[in-house]
Amino acid sequence: MRIPFVAGNWKMNLTRTEAVALAKKLAETPPTGSVEVAVCPAFVYLLPVAQTIGNSHVRLGAQDVYFQAKGAFTGEISCGMLLDVGCEYAIIGHSERRHVIGESDELVNAKLKATVASGLKPILCVGEKMEQRDAGKTKQVVKDQLQKGLAGLSADDLSLLVIAYEPVWAIGTGRTATPDQAQEVHDMIRSWLGENFGKDFARQVRIQYGGSVTAANAADLMAQKDVDGALVGGASLKADEFLKIIDAAGRAGS
Ligand code: PGA
């Protein structure tokens, strides 16, 4: 039984006061049912948010991480620094990092290797663009991202791995994948993991869906066999909306 995992990706949003207030509300509202919850604020707000969530059920994640441990890498943040401020998770290869900032699969792979070696839990994002879906290339694109992102790592290395399937065309657009479209790709991801890392490994890996998840569509998405939670952007910035999504995941997980 995989416990659903709902993570809020706050991206470059909220002020410190807003981030702390949102974290406080979430920490004060334990979920019903079985669901894990995390928030991923901007780097500069990790510490105040960590202090706010304390030992509550809410976990802390970063939106990115660099693969080097220390040194002359201006502007970057290491796994050790994230662990030091209380992070448990790091998002890696988000579509905005790949397509806006220009991160390669090789960089994603280096970040993944550093993350698992440090004990941080990676949330590896994969997903196709609209034109790739239209061209019938969704599975090929996602498999390619998985293969390159996870290259050189074993099932043991990846015991803490979470995958987020986020079709690029659904992120921040209000255009969600249908539950069937999500399930089809999640099923393919799990099969690919089974072929490459073994069936037992594939069975326990959590695969989140991301891309315009809202309180209105969360329950239908979570009801899919291979959808184990959500990576939520816009809807995670409003406490009431995010709590409803957490609730839908908790009900699906019980
Ligand atoms: P969205 O973002 O929920 O605003 O579409 C999801 C994400 O980018 O993780």
Given a contact cutoff of 8 angstroms between Cβ atoms, the answer to whether 4 and 252 are in contact is: yes
What pLDDT score was predicted for residue 254?
65
CA of 71 to the centre of ligand 1 (A): 32
Provide the 8-state DSSP code for 99.
Answer: I
Ligand 1 atom 7: residue of nearest CA: 233
How many domains is the chain partitioned into structurally?
1
Under-50 pLDDT residues of the chain: none
Q: Catalytic: 166?
A: yes
**94 annotated active-site:** yes
Q: What is the DSSP string of 101-162?
A: I---HHHHHHHHHHHHHHTPEEEEEE---HHHHHTT-HHHHHHHHHHHHTTT--TTTTTT-E
- Kindly report, residue by residue over 18-71, the tens digit of the pLDDT: 999 999 999 999 998 899 999 999 999 999 999 999 999 999 999 999 999 999
CATH number reported for the structural domain that contains residue 181 in this entry: 3.20.20.70
Overall residue count recorded for the chain in this entry: 254
100-132 in b/e form (b: 16+ CB < 10 A) is eeebebebbbbbbbbbbebebbbbbbbbbbeeb
Instruction: Give the residue among 169, 165, 221, 224 at the shortest CA–CA distance from 193.
Output: 165
Name every protein residue with a CB atom under 6 angstroms from any ligand 1 atom: 9, 166, 171-172, 210-213, 231-235
Residue of 130, 231, 237, 246 to test ligand 1 pocket, by largest number of atoms within 8 Å of CB: 231
DSSP of 153-197? --TTTTTT-EEEE--GGGTTTS-PPPHHHHHHHHHHHHHHHHHHH
Q: What is the pTM of this model?
A: 0.97
Q: Which residues contact 185 (CB under 8 A, 6 or more apart)?
A: 138, 139, 142, 165, 167, 177
User: What are the tokens at 168?
Assistant: 């690029």
Per the structure, the complete domain to which residue 230 belongs is given by 5-253
Q: Residue 8 forms beta bridges with which residues?
A: 39, 232
Is the separation of the CB atoms in 72 and 108 below 8 Å? Answer: no
